[in-house]
Amino acid sequence: MCCAGPSYGQLIFCNRGYCLVVDPFTGAKVSPPHLPYSDEYEKLGCQGLPLQLALAEYSLSAILTAPLASPNSHLLVRAYNSLFDWPVGSDSWSQVRFPGVRIEKIVEFNGQFIAMDHLQQIYTLDLDPQLALQEIAINCPPDLTEDTDESSKASWLVVCGNMLLMIVQVTSESSDYLTTVSTLHRLDMSTKPAKWVGMEKLDNWTIFVGRDLRNPPFSCMSPERWGGRSKCVYYADDPALSSPPWTVHGLGNEPNPSDDPALRYYIRTWCYKNKM
């Protein structure tokens, strides 16, 4: 089985439509019903595993909406171009499809679930009375729409106190080094349409994000208490592709600690010694 993500202290595993929610400390397990992949997944074969199902498994990730013991807990599974919802303890899933759209992030903000797709479009997500996505009319941060030669862009949704933020990371390549700039935007839903408002600083917060979409971003207040840095983004890369596996980027005009080669070994040892 492949790990589809951590959520509320549980690890969620999936394999060929079967899911398993595991408490890593007690070993307790919860087994939802089989995911209701439709007949279209069975039409194309690929070494014994249907091609569409293989693509779904590759892009699959999962979260809980509340602790398992909560009476309103749901398991949400994002697979390819579908979103599945299992009310914990029930005997069936519900599904919503959106061809051409891939939901990549789901967060809970002010009692409401907000989703973002691979094109940075924002939606509200309703679980009751039925699973539904409603697009929010909103502007797009300018650093996502500007074309920049030799650059790559990534974005994340993260709740930070009473704010819903989008982190945009733009990495540019020159002849001999990479430059990474992280910008910050706050969602303002008091206007119609809603809009992203640029922020220049984050005060005494820091944010953790990563390449792997199965790991949800999170924020932390006063990171200096455990040796971290405020006004920064900690970025977890694939250890097989990057050394060190953690880098630290300043937000806005803040300097990038990871640009100092003397700090790179410190960042790696901090991650494993103090955090793990």
Give the span between the Cα atoms of 87 and 77, in whole angstroms: 12
Q: For residue 182, what is the enclosing H or E element?
A: strand 178-188
193 versus 275: which is more confidently predicted?
193
Tokens of 262: 């003397």
pTM: 0.78
Give the span between the Cα atoms of 263 and 255, in whole angstroms: 13
Backbone angles phi, psi at 30, to 5 degrees: -125, 130
Which are the contacts of 233, defined by CB distance < 8 A and separation ≥ 6? 167, 169, 182, 206, 207, 208, 209, 248, 249, 250, 251
Summarize pLDDT for 78-106 with one digit per residue, the tens: 877 789 999 999 999 998 888 778 888 89
Bridge partner residues of 122 (DSSP): 116
Give the span between the Cα atoms of 69 and 131, in whole angstroms: 21
Sheet with 94-97, strands from edge to edge, namely 61-64, 74-79, 82-87, 94-97
24 versus 57: which is more confidently predicted?
24
Give the span between the Cα atoms of 157 and 166, in whole angstroms: 5
Mean pLDDT on 61-72: 92
Give the span between the Cα atoms of 46 and 65, in whole angstroms: 33
CB 249 within 8 A of CB 233: yes
What value does the mean pLDDT of the chain take?
Answer: 78
> What per-residue confidence (pLDDT) applies to 168?
85
pLDDT tier at 146, thresholds 50, 70, 90? low
CB 73 within 8 A of CB 88: yes
103-107, 224-228, 271-275: which has the minimum mean pLDDT? 271-275
